[in-house]
Amino acid sequence: MILLEWLQYPFVWSYQQTVEKLSLPKQKIFWAYVFLFIPLIFFLYIRIYPTIQAFGMSFYDWNPLAVEQEFIGFDNYAEIFEDVQKPALTSPTRAAFENTVKYVVIGMPLQLVLSLSIALMLSEIRRFVDFYRVIFFLPFVTSTIAVAWVFRWLYQPQHGLFNVVLAAFSLPTQDFLDSRGQALFSILAVVIWQGLGFAVIIFLAGLKQIPRTYYEAAEVDGSSRWQSFWNITLPLLNPSIVYLVVLQTISFLRMFAPVLAMTSQGDGGPLNSTTTVVLRVFREAFGTRSKMGYSAALTVVLFAVILMVTIIQLRLTTRSVD
């Protein structure tokens, strides 16, 4: 204990000699870097460094089983470029890019609107609130593989619950996962279903940060519920919305596990209709004949796309990041 106290003197002394002599803004900068030190080291070493390694692989005919890797320059990228020009039916890569765009463009807004609606309704009601919250959280705590299996049963062409219900209302039964036209939407529905709880909680936490007095004041001013929503709720919910838009976009762009678990053999079928870029990355990297270099190149392309989308989103949604 005495040792500890003694040990800190040089630090205290040097701190007093250096940092405390700085102006206040400069002191703040100093502390910002100190606080960020460990996270920065972590991200650089555990995330960025392996990412750079993976980027490096994209210039090789990289095979994990091989000792020496052959440098092939931009050949992997050229192959991707060729593959995306083929029809999606016979080119999984082309299909993967097409489908990934569909997942994001349809999935992200739908999930956002649904979860915000649910959160607003939840903050409105007074009884059974806990009960509903737990229910909306159920899918989120259930393992993806179990969820996938259950939905495969619900989607069954013959005895699946959905088709039984359709038949009961004398509506035509659907093929769902077994059809090229519906499979993607069937999977998307499950993903939205499973992620709803997360988004609802984020919105609820955001809504709780809005002081009730704002609404009371608005009510006194005679503004309608709809006006309050536009003028108070949405603007003050901005941090939550930005967060969810950016993160859900990224997560839809990186869609993988549900497709792996819900398609036969995890192949992203039928006929590539549900496959995604990350599923292709995984399949090409760990197939019988590994094409990890090609996978790495796909990763780089995906990375570039996500980075671009994220920067644009951050620019548009937060006018004052700095």
Segment near another protein (CB under 8 A), from 6-14, 101-109, 191-199?
A: 191-199
Collapsed DSSP state (helix, strand, coil) of residue 234: helix
Q: Does 120 sit near another protein (CB under 8 A)?
A: yes
Q: Does 67 sit near another protein (CB under 8 A)?
A: yes
Cα(160)–Cα(152) distance, integer angstroms: 8
Among 2, 65, 73, 168, binds another protein (CB under 8 A): 65
Closest by CA to 132, choosing from 212, 196, 206, 215, is 196
Contact call for residues 194 and 216 (beta carbons, < 8 A): no
Residue 77 or 229: which CB sits closer to another protein? 229
Q: Does 12 sit near another protein (CB under 8 A)?
A: no
Planar angle of CA 41, 45, 46, nearest 5 degrees: 110
Residue 106 or 175: which CB sits closer to another protein? 175
Contact call for residues 316 and 306 (beta carbons, < 8 A): no
* Binding residues among 250-289 for another protein as defined by CB under 8 A: 250, 254, 256-257, 264-267, 269-272, 278, 281-282, 285-289
The least CB distance from residue 297 to another protein, in Å, is 11
Among 25, 73, 169, 170, binds another protein (CB under 8 A): 25
Contact call for residues 250 and 306 (beta carbons, < 8 A): yes
Q: Does 118 sit near another protein (CB under 8 A)?
A: yes
* Binding residues among 122-161 for another protein as defined by CB under 8 A: 122, 124-126, 130, 132-147, 149-154, 156-161
Tell me the per-residue interface mask from 33 to 62 with another protein, x by CB under 8 A, - otherwise. Answer: x-xx-xxx-xxxxxxxxxx-xx--------
- Give residues with Cβ within 8 angstroms of 203, minimum separation 6: 115, 116, 119, 120, 237, 240, 244
Q: How many residues belong to the site for another protein (CB under 8 A)? A: 132
**Signed CA dihedral, 214, 220, 222, 226: sign only:** positive
The least CB distance from residue 206 to another protein, in Å, is 8
**Signed CA dihedral, 140, 145, 150, 153: sign only:** positive
Among 12, 22, 29, 217, binds another protein (CB under 8 A): 29
**Signed CA dihedral, 40, 43, 48, 53: sign only:** positive
Q: Does 166 sit near another protein (CB under 8 A)?
A: no
Among 185, 214, 215, 229, binds another protein (CB under 8 A): 229
The DSSP symbol for 265 reads G
Q: What is the residue-wise DSSP string for 124-170?
A: H--SSHHHHHHHHHHHHHS-HHHHHHHHHHHT-TTT-HHHHHHHHTT
Among 21, 71, 219, 235, binds another protein (CB under 8 A): 219
- Give residues with Cβ within 8 angstroms of 156, minimum separation 6: 163
Residue 90 or 105: which CB sits closer to another protein? 90
The least CB distance from residue 251 to another protein, in Å, is 8
The least CB distance from residue 6 to another protein, in Å, is 19
